[in-house]
C-alpha cells in the first residue's frame, strides 16, 4: 500500500496500542495500517478528507467480501507517516488526505483544529514528502 502507516512502537497497558473496535461498512476493503476517520455513530472508514476526526490506525485488514462490519484500530503508539508540507518537531499533526494528497499522510495542525482532528505530534521535523515518526495519541 502506498504511504502505509508503519508501526514503530505500540504503547498501552499491554503494549498493544490500546485497540478500539469500530463499526465499518460491509462491502469496503481496508488495508492494515490505514489511517481511519471517525463518523457518527462510532464508525470508521479510510481517512480521505484533510482534517477529519480520526479513529486510529487499522490494526487488521478487512476484505470487501468478508461481510464484516467491524474493525479494530490502534490509538496509542509511534508510527511512521508521510508528511504533506513542512512539519516542525513537537507540533500537533492532522490527517492531510484529500483529493490531491495520498492516504496516510499528515500535516501540521492549524490553529482551528479540534482535539478530535489532532492525531498526535511530530517526533521529527519534516519537509514535504518526508517520512517521520508521529506519536499517535488518541
Average confidence score pLDDT of the chain: 92
Q: What is the mean pLDDT of residues 101-105?
A: 77
What confidence score (pLDDT) does residue 99 get? Answer: 55
Three-class DSSP category at 91: coil
What per-residue string of b and e applies to 68-85 under the rule 16 or more CB within 10 Å gives b? eeebbbbbbbbbbbbbbe
CA distances from 102 to 20, 24, 49 (A): 24, 21, 10
| C-alpha torsion 53→66→12→104, nearest 10 | -40
Spatial contact of 33 and 11, defined as CB atoms under 8 Å apart = no
Percent of the chain with pLDDT over 70: 95
Q: What is the mean pLDDT of residues 30-56?
A: 93
**What pLDDT, on the 0 to 100 scale, is given for residue 34?**
94
Once rounded to an integer, what is the mean pLDDT over residues 54-68? 95
The per-residue pLDDT for 111 is 79
Predicted local distance difference test score (pLDDT) of residue 100? 59
**What pLDDT was estimated at residue 4?**
83
Distance CA 28, CA 48 (A): 14
Span of 36-45, 93-102, 120-129 with lowest mean pLDDT:
93-102
**CA pair distance 100, 78, nearest whole angstrom:** 26
Amino acid at each position: 500500500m502506498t504511504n502505509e502507516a508503519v508501526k514503530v512502537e505500540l504503547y498501552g497497558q499491554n503494549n498493544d496500542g490500546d485497540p478500539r473496535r469500530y463499526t465499518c461498512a460491509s462491502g469496503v476493503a481496508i488495508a492494515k495500517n490505514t489511517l481511519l476517520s471517525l463518523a457518527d455513530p462510532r464508525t470508521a472508514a479510510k481517512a480521505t478528507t484533510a482534517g477529519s476526526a480520526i479513529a486510529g490506525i487499522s490494526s487488521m485488514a478487512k476484505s470487501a467480501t468478508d461481510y464484516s462490519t467491524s474493525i479494530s484500530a490502534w490509538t496509542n503508539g509511534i508510527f511512521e507517516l508521510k508528511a504533506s508540507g513542512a512539519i516542525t518537531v513537537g507540533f500537533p499533526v492532522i490527517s492531510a488526505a484529500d483529493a490531491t494528497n495520498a492516504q496516510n499522510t499528515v500535516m501540521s495542525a492549524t490553529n482551528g483544529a479540534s482535539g478530535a482532528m489532532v492525531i498526535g505530534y511530530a517526533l521529527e521535523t519534516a519537509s514535504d514528502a518526508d517520512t517521520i515518526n508521529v506519536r499517535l495519541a488518541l
